[in-house]
Homo-oligomer: A and B are copies of this chain.
Amino acid sequence: MLKNQLLIAALLLGTAASSLAQEKMKPEDTEVWEPVPHVVATPVGQAPSDAIVLFDGKDLSAWESQKNPGQPADWPVAGGVFTVNKKAGNIWTKQKFGSYQLHLEYYIPQDIDGEGQGRGNSGLFLAAIGNGDEGYELQILDSYNNKTYVNGQLGSVYKQRIPLANPARKPGEWQTYDVVWTAPTFKSDGSVETPARVTAFVNGVLVQNNVELIGGTQYIGRPSYKQHGPAPIMLQAHGDPSKPISFKNIWVRPL
């Protein structure tokens, strides 16, 4: 396999190539046969076969309470969906993740009330690194005819990256998030080696195109990085007084 990797490297970087040399190459010279990508089954409407299913309708056994680590995620489950329980606070995955592809579906009640940030507010923390709302938050909010600051609307990296579009469906329809998360890496001294990157689609529409993050989300002040390793994925029990939102069909594929 090493040989093949060298072959690829040569192919990609090959400094000795001249147009003369190229003319004498054969088609076979640029074929690469290894490593063979793993096979993934993709049945329509189901999680890919290599995904870790974080919720499939049954229970929240993949999650736990954030404020009481080790305690169950006390959000009610019924009819194949689960619903935010503000009293129980945020929930996060027991398992920790580096970079990954994630799929999630959320539902804002048809009779949602409130406005601005107080209307269907939750959040998907791509890596939760503290005990509160620390980490990198992709905003979940009812942004259907609901004005707020644009770096805080649906599809934003909260207070850091404005979404490319507003694809919010109206309350009472299921909506989707598809995310590619590239976790940041850190040097031994805690400084950033490679920053975090996010690609995200809401309802199939690109809202973040491999944007580079400048740090973890801050409600007050500027984003900044703190060193961390693999981290849980977190769903926010936002304190706003509007009706609670629901989730289903969550899976993640570590990259």
Contact = CB atoms under 8 A, between A and B. Distances in A.
Interface of A: 8, 11-12, 14, 17, 22-23, 25-27, 29-42, 44-45, 48, 50, 56-59, 76, 78-83, 101, 103, 107, 109-111, 149-153, 155, 159-160, 162-169, 172-174, 178, 180, 182, 197, 199, 202-207, 209-210, 214, 218-222, 244, 246-248, 253, 255
Nearest to A23: B221
The 3 A-B pairs with the shortest beta carbon distances in the complex, nearest first, are A79-B246, A79-B81, A31-B149
22 contacts: A12-B160, A12-B214, A22-B221, A23-B221, A25-B221, A30-B151, A30-B221, A32-B162, A37-B150, A39-B165, A45-B45, A48-B167, A48-B203, A48-B205, A58-B111, A78-B81, A78-B244, A79-B79, A79-B107, A101-B206, A164-B255, A209-B255
A34 B150 contact: yes
A165 to B, nearest CB: 5
A176 to B, nearest CB: 9
A76 B38 CA distance: 35
B221 A57 contact: no
A77 B41 CA distance: 27
Contact of A40 (B107, B166, B210, B253): B166
B35 A253 contact: no
A37 B152 contact: no
A248 B79 contact: yes
A245 to B, nearest CB: 8
Interface of A, secondary structure class, is loop
Contacts of A202: 42
A222 B165 contact: no
Nearest to A207: B37
Contacts of A247: 79
Given A37-B166, A180-B209, A32 B78 contact: no
A253 B58 contact: no
A36 B222 contact: no
